[in-house]
Structure formats: structure tokens, C-alpha cells
Structure 1
Amino acid sequence: MAVVLGPNRYGKAETRVVRVTRDGEVHRLKDCNVSIALSGDMEGAHLRGDNSAVLPTDTQKNTVYAFARKHGIGEIEEFALLLARHFVDSQRAIRHARVEIEEYTWSRIPQGPPHSFVRNGGEVRTCLVHHDENGTSTVVSGVRDLVVLNTTGSEFHGFARDEYTTLAPTTDRILATIVTAAWRHRTPDSPYGACYPRARHALLEAFAGTHSLSLQQTLYEMGKRVITDCPEVCEVRLSLPNVHHFLVDLTPFGMDNDREVYHVADRPYGLIEGHVLDDAAPEASFAWS
């Protein structure tokens, strides 16, 4: 039996960087979490402890800070591409770079001075960039922790049943989910700044406007709307947990409950996931993970 080294990568995870741009008294803020993973000719490090091809992860961290100072941070996709290309182009042993960025958005405090900000809830903008030595780049943008809810306009019935089925069909339920969405751009020179708000709006508009017979149907309509409204996008991946809302039984207290008071269950939950794509879309150069 032979034992061999399989696919591998290494890098610096979750480098938190905040970039303040000062334009006189008006300040702008970018708050990001950057994760880097590099792969290539790393057999020596794994098999013999030869670190001559290993760019230290501490250096990768320092590069994030230096590039934030030197280039600033505009659209996170552009910053991720800049980093990925740098590592592949500058290190002979590196064949492929993966850069993932989370952006935590802030808004100015109303009626406050132009240097005061408030964090915009839990929603996070994301991007994932792959770049390899032949110059091929794949860019995926997205959002996570986007919490949405419809108080009506959702049904679930006609489902398969067996001896263990106890769920009652319903023609009126609360539909709530925490959206994780990612959309792949057709080319690495996509208008990221303009695309993101359109894609986010498309997700929300489709969720709100779909009379849902299942969360699967809603998922498809959300992905379809992004591709329809954003021609620069060729594929959408969605992960939608079904945040179950159950009517509370108030009869022990002599009260009725006509769809007014609910208990929210955090687990277990249904998890609906899927891809929606333009059937003429080019194949992704790399896996999205």
C-alpha cells in the first residue's frame, strides 16, 4: 500500500482589517474579514519539512494590511482579486490562490458628525475569488444572514406521507428564513458595486412577491430573479433554513389564537439548498468552496 499526499492548501484565516478614508471632515469606513488559502508545490513542506516554498501566513496577514494602505479597499471583489493575483504572480511555488472576504457594513448616524457610524445589523456582504497561474479568475459575490419573513402568502400541502408523517397540511403559514446567497459573475471585470444592490433587491423582491407553495419554489424564484435582473450573473446558489413558527396553544388559559401568537423554533429546522443558473453559463473554473 502506498500513502501519498492529496490536495492541500494553507493560508491566513480571518484577518480583520478596518480602513478609514479621511476626506477632510468626511470619513468613510470599510470593515472586512479576509481569509487567504494558497496551494501549489507544497510537497516538500509536507513530506520533508522543507519550508522553502512556504510563504508564512504572517506575511499573508501583513500583505492584507499593506494593500489596504497602498490601494485602499473599494469593492471587496476587486480587493480580493488584487490579493489573489499578487500571491500567484509573486510566488513561484503558488499555483492557485483563494481569497474570501466578508464585509460588515456601517452607516452614518443620522444628524451625527461625518465621522460617526452605526453597524447595519447582522447582514454580511461576501465574496469569494479563485485565481490560478494561467490567469483564470472566478468571482462569486454574495450575502449571508439576510433575515426575511412573510406573515402570510405561504402554503405547504400535497406532500409525500408515510407511517411516520404527523405534519398537518396548511394553506396559510408564516414563511421565514435566513438567506445565504452567492452569485457567480460571468467575467472577472463585472460591475460589482452596481450589481450587489440589484442582486440583493432581486432576492428581497422575489421573496416578498412569490405566493409560496414550498420554500423550494421560493428559492427558485429568488435565484431566477437575480439572473434576470443582473445580466452579469450566470449562477446563483442559495441556502435557506426554514425558520419554523408554530402557533402557541392558548386554550389552557381560556384563550383562542387566530394566527396571532407564535413560538419560534431554532432547531431542528428544514434546510433547503439549490443552484439556479443560466443554462448557457460558462462552467466555473474552480469549486466554489
Structure 2
Amino acid sequence: MPPTLGQNQYGKAETRVLRVTREGAVHRLRDLNVSVALSGDLAEVHLAGSNAAVLPTDTMKNTVYAFAREHGIASPEAFGALLARHFVASGPAIRRARVRVEEYAWERVPTTGEKAHSFVRAGNGTRTAQVTCDGGECETLSGLTGVTLLNTTDSEFRGYLKDRFTTLPETGDRVLATDVTAVWRHAAEPADWDGSHAVARGHLLAAFAGTYSRSLQQTLFAMGSAVIDNLPGIDEIRLSLPNKHHFLVDLEPFGMRNEGPDGAVYIAADRPYGLIEATVLREGAEARIPVDLTNT
């Protein structure tokens, strides 16, 4: 039998756009990385080389810049929704548009006088958003990635399954560190996307700091539960937490004891690492966020 065409999509990936808004001497900015993917009745471009239904990816790039200028960027979610609704209506063959947005944060540099136009790149993590429009229905996912967290105590790991290959010693006090990737789904559009994101991020961080951890799995569930419990507009959150291992350095060859009430020295291991992933749902909600957060 001849081969057949399966799922397909195309688009413009990683269009960088910096939108500066000037209010007299006070300037504001939003720094985005936008990726667009379109799918639909596009078999002919693959099978017959017909481009009649194809919106050029260069046009997608230009649309991102034009929309940023014309409409501004109220939030990554709102900007993604504007683009997704536009692209899904761009041609009769386009059935689905997905817009992914990463936002890079900047903080003001304190200055003297009335000037307010200097910024420094903010540190921890990248805000994310994804808007998918399938015909008249749109779904928005908010999130973050690369948020590095670390607890120097209040973490243990013991009582686990052991077999003949187990060498890891149990510990009642360890360093717990991770790089958080989280995606959450809104049951209803919040009145303030920026405010909603800031609150969700705050609850994730507070739960990590405030949970006595017997496993990273337990910490993950506490973090996800904090978001679900405190933001009624969010029905589902999926987290991916690599366990960034920190091991005590063996200083016995130098006649030194590397532990005690005054502290210790650790080595931060790069790889391999444990990877803990799970979804936390509001009671009665349906799981819709893809299991693989890198392929949403």
C-alpha cells in the first residue's frame, strides 16, 4: 500500500519582538518570543506541491510585529489569543492555530531624576503562554519554566524500595533543588492575566518553601495543590521537577568531617538526575494538558 500523510503542521518559530511603550519619561517594555503553528486541510502542499492554501511563514512573522505595534501587548496570553484568532481565520484551509509565547522579564534600574527608561534583565525563570484556537473554540494555558528553587534543609529521603543494585544511603536531612516547569489551564479567563500569573507563581514558590519534604513527589503535589486551592479559575496544573542532586563532598581523606550544626560542603551534580512529573486537578475536572510538557 502507498504511504499516507499523517498529522502535520507548519509555522514560524521563535519570532523575537520587543514592544516599548513610552508614557512621557516613563517607558515600559514587553520582550517576547512567539512561535506560530497552523494545521488543517493542507494535504495538497505535501502531496502535490500546491501552495494555494499556504500562508507564508514570513507573513506570520510580519503579523506578529504588526499586531505588537497596532494592538500593543497587554499580556502574553492576550497577545497569543489575538494572533491565534487571526491565523485560524486567515484561510479556509486553516482549521487550527496554536501560538506559544515566552516572555523575558526586565526590571527597572533605579535612576535619579524623572528618567525611567533603563532596565536590567530579571533573573529567575521565563513566563510562558499557549493559546490554541480550533475553529471558534480557544484554550489558554499559562505557565513558567526555568524557575530554580532550593531548600537547604527540611527535606529527607528514606524508607524507599531497595534491591541488590541500590547504593543510595537514606538521609534525614538533604539539600532539595529543582528547576520548575509548570503549565496551568484556566476554566475561565481571568480579569487580569498578569495578576493571575503572579499569584500562581507566588503560591508555587511559597508551597516549595513551606513544605517539609519527604520526597520531591510530595513537594510537587503540595505546589500544585496550592495553586488549585487558591485560584478558583484554574482547573488543572502540570509540573515537571528535575531533582537537582547535591551530594556531600567526601572530605575524610583530608581528615575533615563534612557535616555538623555549622554547615557542610556539597557538590552540585549536573546529570543524571531524577525527573518528577505529575498533574494536579480540581475535583471533577478533566485532564487536558499534554503529559509531555515539551510537546504541548
Report the TM range for the smaller structure's normalisation: over 0.9
1:246 aligns with 2:247: yes
Aligned match for 2:134, one of 107, 113, 132 = 132
Which of 115, 119, 137 is equivalent to 2:117? 115
Deviates more, 1:185-194 or 1:66-75: 185-194
Q: 1:276 maps to which residue?
A: 280
Give CA-to-partner distance per residue, 1:126-156, whole Å, 9 cap, x none. Answer: 00111011x1111110111111111000010
Residue in structure 1 matched with residue 219 of structure 2 by the alignment: 218
Q: Distance in 2 between matches of 1:54 and 1:90?
A: 10
Is 1:25 the equivalent of 2:25? yes
> Could you list the per-position Cα deviations for residues 181-210 of structure 1 after superposition, in whole angstroms to 9, with x for gaps in the alignment?
111111345632221111001001100111
Say which SS state the counterpart of residue 229 (structure 2) adopts: helix
Aligned: 1:266 with 2:270: yes
**How far is 1:93 from its partner?**
1.0
Matched, 1:163 2:157: no
Where structure 2 has 5 or more consecutive residues not aligned to the other structure, the ranges are none
Q: Which amino acid aligns with 1:111?
A: T
Corresponding residue SS for 2:105 = strand
Alignment of 1:1-289 (within 5 A): 1-111=1-111, 113-133=115-135, 135-188=136-189, 191-258=192-259, 259-282=263-286, 284=288, 289=296
Quote the Cα distance in structure 2 between the aligned partners of 1:249 and 1:284: 46
What is the one-letter code of the residue matched to 1:237? R
- How far apart, in 1, do the equivalents of 2:14 and 2:257 lie? 50
Q: Say whether the 8 Å CA contact 1:153–1:172 is kept in structure 2.
A: yes
Q: Percent identity?
A: 58
Query: Which whole-Å CA distance do the structure 1 matches of 2:160 and 2:104 have between them?
Result: 40
CA RMSD of aligned residues (A): 1.5
- How far is the alpha carbon of 1:39 from its aligned partner? 0.2
Structure 1: gaps (5+ residues): none
Check conservation: 1:155, 1:170, Cα contact below 8 A: yes
Residue identity opposite 2:129 in structure 1: C
Given residue 131 of structure 2, which amino acid in structure 1 is its aligned partner? V
Partners of 2:8 and 2:189 in 1: CA distance: 25
C-alpha deviations, 1:149-185, integer Å up to 9, x for none? Answer: 1100001011111110001111100000010011111
Q: Secondary structure of the residue that 1:266 maps to in structure 2? A: coil
CA apart distance, 1:254: 2.0
Task: Give me the TM-score of the superposition, normalised by structure 1.
Answer: 0.96
What is the SS of the residue equivalent to 1:90? coil
Residue range with higher mean Cα deviation, 247-256 or 96-105:
247-256
Amino acid at match of 2:154: G
